[in-house]
Amino acid sequence: MPSEYEGVWRRLGIWRSDGSCDLSTRVWWFQAPRLHIDLRIPADRPSLADAAALARLSPEQLNRVHAQTGFAGLTVVDAKRCEWRPEIAFPAVGAELDAGWMRFDSPDHLHETGLDNSYEEDWLREPGGALRGARLVEVASGAIAYLLLNERWMAWACAEQETASRPDRLVHQQWPEFTVLRKHEDWTVEASTLPWLEHTASIRYDTLNLTLLSQWRHNDEVAIPLAPGRRWRVAE
């Protein structure tokens, strides 16, 4: 992975070959030396006070919750071709190829074109520096998680190896979680596939930061404040 890709990218917009465009969906792409986390939240997705509020949504509102997406896995760059190979995703990992042709218009401005020319995307890198990352496996269940962070941003992705996007599973917080946090005094949730976490949940900075992550080694067993009560093995 070329170092020029590393960091936190925000999508400015997508323009499709059918003439449609999207300038309002909130999109974060976290790129570490090998690993990525991507989260996309439609502007019209409902805000929820708690998980129980899902049961009160209309079918149309629930469809907008289903429209959010997230994925995490390995990124492979070959010359100007960039491919994302997700291991976990919300609502599920798809079979379609996710790859594009990349062009740097400036060091912090990236343009992406679909391999089939079906879309064009513009990305802007956020300040905060390069990311450190880890792939983790839960000791008890074998669940997969990714954690990427720098001085200003953090992303967490976690899913059971086999999950289904059913509302009853989401009520019990068993849906795949993709969460983006931003550092203020502590880490505050900016966006999540669990909407009730947004702007309310926070993690103390001294419990999870670059210094602590840099001390982890392969096969270490660690605790993650984002998943209290669970133990994780550092797989990568």
Reported as a pLDDT band with limits 50, 70 and 90, residue 158 is very high
Reported as a pLDDT band with limits 50, 70 and 90, residue 1 is confident
pLDDT reported for residue 164: 40
Q: Domain coordinates of the chain in residue numbers? A: 3-125, 132-234
Q: Give the separation between CA 8 and CA 156, rounded to whole angstroms.
A: 13
Percent of the residues in the chain that have a pLDDT greater than 90, as a whole number: 85
What's the whole-model pTM score?
A: 0.94
pLDDT reported for residue 163: 52
Reported as a pLDDT band with limits 50, 70 and 90, residue 173 is low
What's the 3-state SS for the chain? Answer: CCHHHCEEEEEEEEEECCCCEECCCEEEEEECCCEEEEEEECCCCCCCCCHHHHHHCCHHHHHHHHCCEEEEEEEEEECCEEEEEEEEEECCCCCCCCEEEEEEEECCEEEEEECCCCEEEEEEECCCCCCEEEEEEECCCCCEEEEEECCCEEEEEEECCCCCCCHHHHHCCCCCEEEEEEECCCEEEEEECCHHHCCCCEECHHHCCHHHHHCCCCCCEEECCCCCCCEEEECC
Token reading at 192? 């999540």
Mean pLDDT for all residues in the chain: 92
pLDDT greater than 70 at residue 168? no
Q: Under CATH, what is the fold of the domain 3-125?
A: Lipocalin (2.40.128)
pLDDT greater than 80 at residue 25? yes
Weakest mean pLDDT among 102-106, 160-164, 175-179: 160-164
Reported as a pLDDT band with limits 50, 70 and 90, residue 175 is confident
pLDDT reported for residue 161: 67
Reported as a pLDDT band with limits 50, 70 and 90, residue 200 is confident
